[in-house]
Amino acid sequence: MTQLDAASPRLGRRRDHSRDPEILNAALEVLAEEGYDGMTVDMVAARAKAGKATLYRRWPSKGELVIDAVVCMKRGDIDLGNLPDTGTLRGDLVAMIKPRTIEESERKLQVMAGLMSAVARSPELAEAINRAIIEPRAEVNRILLRRAIDRGEIAADIDIETLSMITPSMAAYRTLVLKRPVDREFLITMIDNVVLPAVGLRR
């Protein structure tokens, strides 16, 4: 981006944003560990090995930095265009449980825990969290449930909207409130003891 910016050649090198990822990632780490109010800009700068002034050259305030960090967290988690297709609902749901996904998901929930109290004061932040953390997980379940309906595996009148939120909410509750790990065993239990029975499979 640096040398391609022909629009203003006079300014020598323009701000290149090349260190944004490190900084935003450092912000997420501190957020997960300390929460929004426990996080200081100095902590983020130190962890990213950047000067505090550098952060303020890019973001006007701590709040904007945090929102940007949450927004940029989306990627790396789930590829919506390449979901498993095993032929059964259970197969699809279980196939979504990968160590990589679990790890990423737990990290997101930790960040969310840290942001919880700040959310009340910033609708913008609430929106960013919903878009980056909540919605993607529910969307996957919606798609898998819809496919199961299409192939006639489950009844067409089940409540997709509600059922697609069971796993995300139970996982959030488990991390935020119960402080217990969202591991493979937990997720399998949710699938076999709640979701599948609720759509009429098994039992």
Partner DNA sequence: CGTATCCGAAACTGTTGAGTTCCGTATATA
Partner DNA sequence: TATATACGGAACTCAACAGTTTCGGATACG
Residues that bind its own copies (CB under 8 A): 33-38, 112-121, 126, 129-130, 134, 155, 158-159, 162-163, 165-166, 168-170, 172-174, 176-179, 189-190, 193-194, 197-200, 203
Number of residues that bind DNA (CB under 7 A): 29
Provide the token pair at 99.
């160590």
For 28, the enclosing helix (H) or strand (E) is helix 20-38
Stretch touching DNA by CB under 7 A, among 59-67, 131-139, 172-180, 189-197:
59-67
Asked whether 122 and 63 are in contact (CB, 8 A), the reply is yes
Residue 68 interacts with DNA (CB under 7 A): yes or no: no
| Partner from DNA, its own copies, none binding residue 165, C-beta < 5-8 Å depending on class | its own copies
Could you say which residues in the range 94-153 bind DNA, by CB under 7 A? none
Residue 41 CB partners (closer than 8 Å, separation 6+): 52, 55, 56, 62, 65
| Residues 5-34 interacting with DNA (rule: CB under 7 A) | 9-16, 19
User: Closest separation between CB of residue 166 and its own copies, Å?
Assistant: 7
Q: Which does 50 bind (CB under 5 to 8 A by kind): DNA, its own copies, none?
A: DNA
CB of 11 to its own copies, least distance (A): 41
Rounded least distance, CB 162 to its own copies, Å: 5
Handedness of CA 106, 72, 125, 161 (dihedral sign): negative
C-alpha span between 199 and 141 (Å, rounded): 13
CB of 120 to its own copies, least distance (A): 6
Nearest distance from C-beta of residue 15 to its own copies, angstroms = 32
Q: Which is nearer to DNA, 67 or 144 (CB)?
A: 67
Distance CA 196, CA 203 (A): 9
The rounded distance, in Å, linking the Cα atoms of 33 and 36 is: 9
198 binds DNA (CB under 7 A): no
192-198: long-range pairs with CB below 8 Å, 24+: 192/90, 194/166, 194/170, 195/93, 195/163, 195/166, 195/167, 196/89, 196/90, 198/158, 198/163, 198/166
Instruction: Write out the residues near DNA by the rule CB under 7 A.
Output: 2-3, 9-16, 19, 39-42, 45-46, 48-54, 56-57, 61-63
